[in-house]
Structure 1
Amino acid sequence: MRKQAKNVRETALELLEAIEKNQSYSNLLLHHAIEKNHLPAKDIGLLTELTYGTLQRKMTLDYYLQPFLKKGKKIENWVLQLLRLAVYQMVYLDKIPDRAAIFEAVEIAKKRGHKGIAAMVNGVLRSMQRQGLPSVEKVADPLVRLSLETSHPEWLIRRWAEQFGFEKTKEMAEVNLTAPTQTARVNTAKTTRQECLDRLEAEGYIVEKSPIIPVAIRSLKGNLAASAVFKEGLITIQDESSMLVAYALGAEENETILDACAAPGGKSTHIAEKMQNTGKVVALDLHEHKVKLINDNASRLGLINIQPLTMDSKKGSEQFERESFDRILLDAPCSGLGVMRRKPDMKYTKKENDLFQLSKIQIELLTAVAPLLKKGGVLVYSTCTVDQQENENVVASFLKENPEFAGDLQFKNRMPEAIQPLIHGFDLQIFPQDFSSDGFYIACLRKKV
């Protein structure tokens, strides 16, 4: 038993090191580690909890550790990661006794380092156990305190508080520390939601209808990507916020649609399903390997009305005639601040200047695709972020420079009933705490006739 549990902790330690060193996405590395080590199901849960939990709480863990580390003495990165991992278990995991967390950390320290490191790890953790944690309440500035409590960089907390107020920021930062629920979209071109629920329950999954999206299901237990229902192309793994984009676009049968930044194809395939496999969805992406993902998704779902192309959307006018698309979706590259629950490492790698740089790219992309839209057509701009510079400000700047476009006030009528109260005018900012989905922004514009 102990050997297996130790292996999980060692794997978690290696993952934490790799994520910090290479600034790699935690979700991709975790998936690779699970496959490579052939971990049993019970260990997958613990590995995920240890890796994500320690990443999610990194700033808080460092605050707790600080008084117990010798000032001015540099410790190797792997030792710091090991201490964070142990403290995370001691503070946040009720099922793991402190003595087990400390013992395992000391054993790994012996194996990876030498007796001196093992003694230091043991000393720090036992001192912490005896003396208790330093209180975050001692921090006077409420924004700095919230930053430490929720492990969000101070610049981001200050920015959000300025844009959305303290309470909304606090709610968002706290929700970002929780695990997201897996959701899937039913392929209505092939089946119904009830049939999917029945089939998944027969396979042993615990699932329920989404109260937000009429074609969505939530998994309370089990990874839906491993189900026969997924393999048969009856569902697509997609967050509920992301599903709202196809509703906003409102594509109708036999129309010609442009999805300008389409990979991996979740939104393209949803639009294609809504069109009942008629018309054409031209799905662009800059990278060939990502275009392959769109192709793979379309063929798994049995969709024949998607045309994936490897192409820079900024050069769309070189490839397509002006006013040749009925509707255009630009799901723009963004800071991703709305998906931090899925990629907790993102909190520590993003810089405030990134948002400014991205907003310039977003405006360029909008300006590039706008001439391709027919008069009277709908242009949807969406991001998976929560920031006014990348969202409202980009749209306002675009409308100012492109008077032939206006906000589409019919937007609300196309959206699922549960979402309508959140919409005022022609755009929508979804916060992660609104219905426990990703943070997301959608704006609907119409080209004047």
Structure 2
Amino acid sequence: MSESFEGGRRTAGGSDGRSSNTGGSRKAEAGAVRRGKGQASDGKQRGTARDAALEVLVRTEQDRSYSNLLLNQTLQKYNLEKLDAGLATEIVYGTIQRMNTIDHFLARFVSKGLAKLEPWVRSLLRLSFYQIYYLDRVPDHAVVNEAVNIAKRKGHRGISGMVNGVLRNVIRQKDTLTIPANLPAVTRIALTHSHPEWIVQRWIRQLGEEQTERICEANNVPPRVSVRVNTMKYSRQQLINVLADAGLEVEPSDLAPAGIIVKGAGNMALTTWYENGMISIQDESSMLVAETVDPQPGEKVLDCCAAPGGKTTHMAEKMGDRGELWACDIYEHKEKLVREQADRLQLESVRTVVMDARELHNRFPPASFDRILLDAPCSGLGVIRRKPDMKWTKRERDLDDICAIQRELLRTVHSLVRPGGVLVYSTCTIEYSENEGMVLEFLERHPEFEWDREHSRQIYPYEHQSDGFFIAKLRKRA
């Protein structure tokens, strides 16, 4: 196995969830330690990778903000070099991913309890524990020294002494920190793979213990970078050749016909291939949605909840940009994202509208679309590996509210499908009540639709190293 901080997340880990001991480069560590605090001549704040990571973790916990958005803002603010930015990214996502496991172990070393610590002290201990326990390539002494320095700057001698003592005790005892195999299944899986017990319990009830553990394990594996080829300009093999000739390590997706896996290339959204409309960045599972809708040139198609536009533009490409593709979103700033993607790809068939999809029946007459995609708002429990925060912010009671919205959307948009037409319902979750349960409930009330199970699927994160997704193809009887 190999592991890299460059470009962001780690790329491999041991079977116990701890990173492989690769003995790799210390450049990220050295770069993070040497940088001092203060204000740079360009007005950007100076600090280490750990300063940046700490700021993101504190704000994520206090404000319940999205870590990915905060991280991007903070990295720009600190103006870190590439390797340091990679280390900060790894620390943030890794600490959030492993939060309850970290807290479980830290509780042994903090006598008054983590909950009684100031938020920044708690986050500092968490991110330091993550490096000591999970990142074998980062020297333990450097982690402790950096944490103590941060504690001195932000607190007082008492806090820095406590931080120093806790972390040195962690180092001395880290080989004894294990999750007992004889724990009840829910507790063992929750602590081993760092998921809330309510999610683990729910999945075991629906899917069984073995499959639940595979899902939870996969949720801690960093997502691969996948791009979708614009088939109006290139075949997949042609673009693979272009990318390979440019020195990129690429391979065709074994899941999505238009998908390409790209390794070690950094942010593909900053490339000329993206800018020129040759590729779009999209997960492989997500690409299957447009394949399932299968829109044909000249048809009238509706994407009910379209932002940020990946599925919309994919459908337009499959139509050869011939026909009428309406893309709706409830928020103006999100509708703008769809328009920007359509403009980047020079798609003229896409028409956008700002509207609550539950009101679309007031905008369009019944039976006015050949095909409709309802990519419904959902719990997002299939994309935890991309958004680890949601493990700790979602509550089980939230699912009832989400299901109510999905139910109402299906109730209002189904009438817009013409007889003989297609309604595709999709989510990025693996939750039964939002997926198969929702479709079965809909079909009970609307027997004019039939479920094309052959062209429907539930994808789990461990199957293809892609997002968890549900796609149901419903046909309206002619």
Which TM class, normalised by the smaller chain length?
A: over 0.9
Q: Deviations over 1:327-368 (max 9, x none)?
A: 000000000000010100100000011111111110100110
Q: Deviations over 1:97-135 (max 9, x none)?
A: 111111111111111111000000001111122233433
Secondary structure in structure 2 of the residue aligned to 1:211: coil
Alignment of 1:38-187 (within 5 A): 38-71=79-112, 74-132=116-174, 133-137=176-180, 140-187=183-230
CA contact (8 A) 1:186 1:217 kept: yes
Determine whether 1:33 maps to 2:33: no
CA contact (8 A) 1:200 1:227 kept: no
Rounded to whole Å, the distance in 2 between the matches of 1:202 and 1:118 is 52
In the alignment, which residue of structure 2 is the partner of 1:4? 35
Give 1:434's match in structure 2, choosing from 463, 467, 471: 463
Secondary structure in structure 1 of the residue aligned to 2:430: coil
CA contact (8 A) 2:52 2:75 kept: no
Determine whether 1:306 maps to 2:350: yes
Alignment of 1:175-254 (within 5 A): 175-222=218-265, 223-254=267-298
Q: Deviations over 1:218-242 (max 9, x none)?
A: 1111121121101101111000000
Rounded to whole Å, the distance in 1 between the matches of 2:194 and 2:251 is 32
Give 1:277's match in structure 2, choosing from 314, 321, 324: 321
TM-score normalized with structure 2 length: 0.88
In the alignment, which residue of structure 2 is the partner of 1:415? none
CA contact (8 A) 1:196 1:229 kept: no
Secondary structure in structure 2 of the residue aligned to 1:217: strand
- Distance 1:116-1:128 versus aligned 2 partners, 3 A rule: same
Task: Give the aligned residue type for 1:3.
Answer: R
Alignment of 1:285-300 (within 5 A): 285-300=329-344
TM-fit CA distance, 1:289:
0.5
Rounded to whole Å, the distance in 2 between the matches of 1:152 and 1:211 is 29
Rounded to whole Å, the distance in 2 between the matches of 1:40 and 1:121 is 27
TM-fit CA distance, 1:200:
2.6
Rounded to whole Å, the distance in 1 between the matches of 2:254 and 2:440 is 32
In the alignment, which residue of structure 2 is the partner of 1:445? 474
CA contact (8 A) 2:48 2:84 kept: no
Structure 1, unpaired ranges of 5+: 413-426
In the alignment, which residue of structure 2 is the partner of 1:388? 432
TM-fit CA distance, 1:72:
5.4
Rounded to whole Å, the distance in 2 between the matches of 1:445 and 1:19 is 40
Paired residues, what number? 434
Task: Give the aligned residue type for 2:341.
Answer: N
Task: Give the aligned residue type for 2:353.
Answer: L
In the alignment, which residue of structure 2 is the partner of 1:420? none
In the alignment, which residue of structure 2 is the partner of 1:264? 308
Rounded to whole Å, the distance in 2 between the matches of 1:387 and 1:11 is 34
Task: Give the aligned residue type for 1:118.
Answer: S
In the alignment, which residue of structure 1 is the partner of 2:8? none
Higher helix share: 1
Rounded to whole Å, the distance in 2 between the matches of 1:138 and 1:116 is 37
Give 2:367's match in structure 1, choosing from 323, 328, 343: 323
Using CA pairs under 8 Å that are at least 6 residues apart, name the structure with larger relative contact order, 1 or 2.
1
- Distance 1:68-1:296 versus aligned 2 partners, 3 A rule: same
In the alignment, which residue of structure 1 is the partner of 2:5? none
Rounded to whole Å, the distance in 1 between the matches of 2:432 and 2:181 is 32
CA contact (8 A) 1:203 1:227 kept: no
Give 2:420's match in structure 1, choosing from 359, 366, 376: 376
CA contact (8 A) 1:331 1:382 kept: yes
Rounded to whole Å, the distance in 2 between the matches of 1:36 and 1:130 is 36
Task: Give the aligned residue type for 1:294.
Answer: V
CA contact (8 A) 2:457 2:470 kept: yes
CA contact (8 A) 2:185 2:209 kept: no
Q: Deviations over 1:165-204 (max 9, x none)?
A: 1111000100111100010100111222233223333444
- RMSD between aligned alpha carbons? 1.4
Structure 2, unpaired ranges of 5+: 1-30, 37-46
In the alignment, which residue of structure 2 is the partner of 1:422? none
Rounded to whole Å, the distance in 2 between the matches of 1:38 and 1:86 is 22
Q: Deviations over 1:233-258 (max 9, x none)?
A: 11110000000001111111100000
CA contact (8 A) 1:199 1:229 kept: no
Task: Give the aligned residue type for 1:397.
Answer: E
Runs (4+) off by over 4 Å: none
TM-fit CA distance, 1:139:
5.9
TM-fit CA distance, 1:408:
2.1
Determine whether 1:339 maps to 2:383: yes
Alignment of 1:408-427 (within 5 A): 408-409=452-453, 411-412=454-455, 427=456
In the alignment, which residue of structure 1 is the partner of 2:13? none
Determine whether 1:350 maps to 2:394: yes
Rounded to whole Å, the distance in 1 between the matches of 2:292 and 2:121 is 49
Rounded to whole Å, the distance in 2 between the matches of 1:135 and 1:72 is 20
Q: Deviations over 1:388-413 (max 9, x none)?
A: 0111111111111112111125x43x
Rounded to whole Å, the distance in 1 between the matches of 2:223 and 2:93 is 11
TM-fit CA distance, 1:31:
2.0
Secondary structure in structure 1 of the residue aligned to 2:136: coil
Secondary structure in structure 1 of the residue aligned to 2:429: coil
Rounded to whole Å, the distance in 2 between the matches of 1:105 and 1:202 is 44
Identity of aligned residues (%): 48
TM-score normalized with structure 1 length: 0.94
CA contact (8 A) 1:183 1:238 kept: yes
